[in-house]
Structure 1
Amino acid sequence: MLKMLKQLSAAALAVSLGLGTANASMLYKVSGNGMEEPSYLFGTIHIICQSDFKVDDATTAAFNEADRIVLELDMDDPAVMQSMQSKVLSPGGEKISSYLDDDQQTLLDNFLTSNIGANLQAVDNLRPFIISTMVMSSQMGCAQQVSYEGYFVQQAMAQEKQLDGLETVDFQMGVFEQIPHDEQVSWLIESLEQPEQAKKDLKRMLDAYLAADVEGLYNLFSEYEAYSEYKALMLDNRNYDWQQKLDQQLQAPGSEFIAVGAGHLGGKAGMINLLKESGYTVEAVAQN
């Protein structure tokens, strides 16, 4: 459970789809606007198969040059992980089973028992998005999975770099609390009732990420009706808040390596455009 929690952040849902672009990259150089030295912005995917995980030379160089590492959460802070563990239960005490008919309960129970090693009763009080992440992880079809955030935290600690977070656990959990509980449960059950479609969507998401299509990754929320009404909540509003915080950090002495979910980079309200509108020069860095 702790390993799974370390892979979670609100952007677990901020993953998307699309076609590659000519200047496709997940790494961007941020300069200008009075900065003494450049910083870098990198788009992550929160769970990925080990076989698809790659940190190229350009990204490694950008990370090594940075004085500070900025993630969505300050994941080297033990208090952050303790806070995540303490908030896995549904805040209102709702049980997932109370939103399911008998057939749906059996479906979820069988899946959890076969793939997670825990039955429905054992996880009935957990927040639905946590169970959804477990299901998604199982449907990826690979035994070894990693997260870019976990990798960057390890590297930051090894290099004794300062690590900061853009949000608190309370804030991220609060994002999901604004989505009706029954709707989150319906997303979970849909992924089990239509497993082939769920796997297809995961593959399209992964293909888009590997193609470094930041615009397509943002546009998933518009394509999927279930998520489209929450695009502002889960992406846009958070991006505006992050931009204000990053503007202060980018103007401080030293340089940053900023790593956030790739779904936050594209679009008019994405981090790339918001940085440009704030006067920064944002340039894609070629990745090998």
Structure 2
Amino acid sequence: MMKNIALTILIIFTTLVEGQNLERSLLWKISGNGLKEVSYLYGTIHITCDDKLPAKTIKAMTETKQLYLELDMDDPSMQQSMMGGMMMKEGKTLTSLSSAEDFKAVDDFLKKQLGYSAQLLNTIKPFMISAMLYPKLIDCEMKSVEGSLMKLSKEQNEEILGLETVQEQLAVFDAIPYEVQMNELVKTAKNNLENDKIEMDSMLKIYKSEDINAMVTLMIESENEITSKFEGPLLTDRNKRWIPRIIKIASEKSTLFGVGAGHLAGENGVIQLLRKAGYTVEAVF
């Protein structure tokens, strides 16, 4: 279950950048500004039915020497680290964040979907519970682009590393009010995942088209307040924290950076931030 959460919690981060229009591409070449070798930036999606990598991405993987994802997904300590960051702070519980009626709706829903009572999950951040439900949003076995990148990286005997720690990533959900998270979980329970499935279907179609700008528009218009009102902690703050790390890593070794596709576009997206830092970032078709 922890591995599924690790692969799915990131889906919320593929959202909400106010964007300049960029070419339709998920793969971008990073060069210039003193780099001795090129590196690549690749937009991933964390839940999909089709995890086949395009030929251009496989080529970029063969040209680079290591893989950096948002998290070091093959770190054996990751699951333990995730467990430590799943609990709410300050004694908050699901019952304290909801009315008796809403808690019952969530309890009945979770029993049906996960086989767990909400009482057993009472101290877990509501978003973490929502993340457990993401495999239910697609009518197939859940796969991830990260999984395919990791498989290829291992076949090439290359190292897999992470741009941020589990603690850094999960801390985002202490910056988003637990009340907002709970409200979204209640909405999901009451509509029985229907709205979530519609949005996921739209996102998968947009991802397949490689239109990173349309993905932003989709999520800005989302009814989910976590994605539509908390761009700062979800995206911008993380993007800005990544830039010096990406620059240092790329200056030392040719690297493919695989991050959620929503991090790419926009004024505060990784592409524009790297360009502002003096690097040439070009779409690969």
> Is the shorter-chain TM-score for this pair beyond 0.5, marking a shared fold?
yes
Gaps of 5+ in 2: none
Aligned-pair distance for 1:2?
2.4
CA RMSD, 1 decimal: 2.3
Aligned-pair distance for 1:17?
8.6
- Contact 1:272/1:282, CA 8 A, preserved across alignment: yes
Summarize the Cα distance change of 1:87–1:17 in structure 2 as closer, same or farther, 3 Å threshold: closer
What residue identity is the alignment partner of 1:261? Answer: G
What residue identity is the alignment partner of 2:45? Answer: I
- Contact 2:212/2:262, CA 8 A, preserved across alignment: yes
Gaps of 5+ in 1: none
Aligned-pair distance for 1:116?
1.4
Aligned-pair distance for 1:12?
2.8
Percent identity over paired residues: 35
The size of the alignment, in residue pairs, is: 279
Q: In structure 1, the residue corresponding to 2:275 is in which secondary structure? A: helix
- Contact 1:17/1:205, CA 8 A, preserved across alignment: no
Alpha-carbon separation, structure 2, partners of 1:189 and 1:199: 15
Aligned-pair distance for 1:83?
0.6
* Deviation digits for residues 129-181 of structure 1 (CA, Å, limit 9, x no counterpart): 1111122331x132400122233233333332122211111111111101111
Alpha-carbon separation, structure 2, partners of 1:60 and 1:168: 26
Partner of 1:275: 274
The 5-angstrom pairing of residues 188-267 of structure 1 reads 188-194=185-191, 195-220=193-218, 222-224=220-222, 226=225, 227-252=227-252, 254-267=253-266
1:154 correspondence with 2:151: yes
Summarize the Cα distance change of 1:179–1:16 in structure 2 as closer, same or farther, 3 Å threshold: closer
Q: TM-score, normalised by structure 2?
A: 0.89
* Deviation digits for residues 84-113 of structure 1 (CA, Å, limit 9, x no counterpart): 133222233422133223332232222222
Q: TM-score, normalised by structure 1?
A: 0.88
Alpha-carbon separation, structure 2, partners of 1:136 and 1:107: 18
Partner of 1:285: 284
Partner of 2:69: 71
Aligned-pair distance for 1:22?
8.9
Q: In structure 2, the residue corresponding to 1:48 is in which secondary structure? A: coil
Aligned-pair distance for 1:40?
0.8
- Contact 1:15/1:220, CA 8 A, preserved across alignment: no
1:108 correspondence with 2:106: yes
Summarize the Cα distance change of 1:220–1:234 in structure 2 as closer, same or farther, 3 Å threshold: farther
Structure 1 stretches (4+) deviating beyond 4 angstroms?
Answer: none
Alpha-carbon separation, structure 2, partners of 1:48 and 1:92: 36
* Deviation digits for residues 2-59 of structure 1 (CA, Å, limit 9, x no counterpart): 23233145x33123499xx89411111112222222111101111222xx32211111
- Contact 1:45/1:262, CA 8 A, preserved across alignment: yes
Alpha-carbon separation, structure 1, partners of 2:28 and 2:244: 18
What residue identity is the alignment partner of 2:86? Answer: V
- Contact 1:68/1:255, CA 8 A, preserved across alignment: yes
Aligned-pair distance for 1:280?
1.8
Partner of 1:170: 167
